[in-house]
Amino acid sequence: MILILTPNIQPENETYQQLMSHLARLPNIQVRVHIEKGIEQTLTELYLIGNTSAVSVEEMRALPGVERVVRVSEEYRVLGRHLDDQRPAYFDYQGLRFGQDSFHIFAGLCAVDNAQNVEFMMRALKEQGQVCTRMGAYKPRTSPYSFQGHGRTCLPFVFELAGKYGIRVIAMEITHESHIDEIQDALYQTGAPTGVMLQIGTRNTQNFELLKIVGRQQEFPVLLKRGFGITLDESLHAAEYLASEGNRKVVFGLRGIKSNLGDPHRNFVDFVHVPVVKRLTRMPVCIDPSHAVGARSSGPEGILDLLHATAQGVIAGANMVLVDFHPVPSRALVDGPQALLIEELPHFLEDVQIAREAYEKRSLLRTRYANQPSTQERDLVLT
Ligand code: PEP
Ligand code: MN
């Protein structure tokens, strides 16, 4: 059960203290406090954990300092959607809103190779009015002999260039907790010219200790990718690890599932799960067509499979697209075969826009039909 307290309530406040001592007396119930600092107000939520079936919603709602009460189903307590749950389905970061209604494209390099390519990419993004990108510094590779990313050494020039070209958020995978400190240090050294969304890759979706550590910091939002060989439910529970530790600024990423049934694509494209994740949780949903499709093959009309897959996810309501580009894909150190060319960026963005507008039209259409009286109601009016 979640008690949502009156906005801006302070722990030193008498009402707050009375409420906490009352809750402390409830048998077999533990209270976990979560404070969410927003731009306009600070919200305090109390999670009652334990035998809450014996606690009545009305009784809790009547307590001083309590504004709303949500009885949660067992699944995804913090990030899930529950009955009468009006908690927001968005968060703000770097002046941008990430929610189930917003839409952002994170086009960029799978792996940073050199400053020149980073600059080439960022300049192209600025020319197209883009303010987000992806840049890999820490790369989890199948072979220990493959390029592992430049790590912290590339961070200062990546952040400086981001600042120069007005990039506000960089999605960057981390594979170890020490990378958070390295990112913080580099941002500090460079005067924080940009922001970072920490990415947990598909290989680490169930690295629970990493999830707990990433969840304990609230400075950076997190893009958690679906695990490639586990159920959707298991991946959503992984997201809940982040939130249960305190960080609920979580975007959930679909990137395909490992299965030969998806051949000839690199992974079996799973973007049909976009509305499923939005229904079950309050997380914005990202799609990664590059790692899902994994190649530059195209349909007979000449449209790349990668663009088709993107359109499928976007028309289904995806809130974010993570996509690989490279100035010279044949020379990319990681995932060249799936990279789009920088010259293809305007085409890609326009194609995505068509799908996004189609999604918006579909949502409006749905509203229009939902507001029409049903045949049964019409019959009642007529008789
Ligand atoms: C990536 O985005 O670069 C990546 C490695 O993705 P995934 O974890 O989905 O394989
Ligand atoms: Mn990659």
**Per-residue pLDDT tens digits for 195-223:** 999 999 999 999 999 999 999 999 999 99
Q: Does 81 contact ligand 1 (Cβ within 6 A)?
A: no
Closest atom of ligand 1 relative to the 256 alpha carbon: 9
Q: Is the CB of 225 under 6 A from ligand 1?
A: yes
CA 203 to ligand 1: nearest atom: 8
pLDDT digits (tens, 9 = 90+) for 89-118: 999 999 999 999 999 999 999 999 999 999
- Regarding the beta carbon of 327 and ligand 1, being less than 6 Å apart is answered no
Residue 383 predicted with pLDDT over 60: no
Rounded-to-integer distance, Cα 84 and Cα 68, Å? 10
By most ligand atoms within 8 Å of CB, the mutation choice from 110, 172, 225, 270 for ligand 1 is 225
Task: Kindly state the tokens that stand for 238.
Answer: 């992984």
Q: Nearest Cα to 265, choosing from 230, 299, 292?
A: 292
Report the atom number in ligand 1 closest to the C-alpha of 136.
3
Q: What is the dihedral of CA 359, 360, 363, 365, to 10 degrees?
A: -100
Tokens 């504004």 identify what position? 67
Question: Cβ(202) to ligand 1 under 6 A?
Answer: yes
Give the DSSP per-residue string, 57-122: HHHHHTSTTEEEEEPPPSTTTTTB--TT----SEEEETTEEEESS--EEEEEBSS---HHHHHHHH
77 backbone dihedrals φ, ψ, rounded to 5°: -55, -50
Q: Determine how many CB atoms are found less than 10 A away from the CB of residue 49.
A: 13
Q: Please choose, from the candidates 203, 194, 239, the residue with its C-alpha nearest in 3D space to the C-alpha of residue 96.
A: 194
- The answer, yes or no, to whether any atom of ligand 1 lies below 6 A from the CB of 289, is no
Residue 358 CB: number of other CB atoms within 10 A? 13
Which ligand has its closest atom nearest to the C-alpha of 332? Answer: 2
Q: Which atom of ligand 1 is nearest to the CA of 134?
A: 2
pTM of the model: 0.93
Ligand 1 and 227: CB distance under 6 A: no
State the CB neighbour count (10 A cutoff) for residue 109. Answer: 27
* 101 CA distance to ligand 1 middle (Å): 24
Report d(CA 235, CA 382) in Å as an integer.
51
Ligand number with the minimum distance to the CA of 322: 1
The span from the CA of 146 to the CA of 319, in Å, is 32
Candidate from 79-83, 305-309, 359-363 with smallest mean pLDDT: 79-83
> Distance, CA 178 to ligand 2 centroid (Å)?
21
Q: Which residues have CB under 8 Å from 279's CB, separation 6+?
A: 81
> Is 291's C-beta closer than 6 angstroms to any atom of ligand 1?
yes
- As a whole number of angstroms, the distance between CA 149 and CA 217 comes to 24
Rounded to 5, what percent of the chain is helix, strand, coil? 40, 20, 40
Q: Model confidence over 32-81: pLDDT tens digits?
A: 998 888 778 888 999 998 888 889 999 999 999 999 999 887 789 999 99
Amino acid 224: pLDDT = 98
CA dihedral 268, 97, 174, 156 (to 10 degrees): 130
Q: Please choose, from the candidates 294, 267, 325, 341, the residue with its C-alpha nearest in 3D space to the C-alpha of residue 111.
A: 325
Q: Would strands 250-254 and 90-93 be described as parallel, antiparallel, or unpaired?
A: unpaired
Strands 320-326 and 285-287 turn out to be: parallel
Q: Say which ligand is closest to the CA of 338.
A: 2
Determine the atom of ligand 1 nearest the C-alpha atom of 140: 5
Q: Is the dihedral of CA 356, 322, 243, 256 positive or negative?
A: positive
What is the spatial distance between Cα 300 and Cα 323, in angstroms, rounded to a whole number? 23
Of 21-30, 78-87, 111-120, 227-236, the poorest mean pLDDT is in 78-87
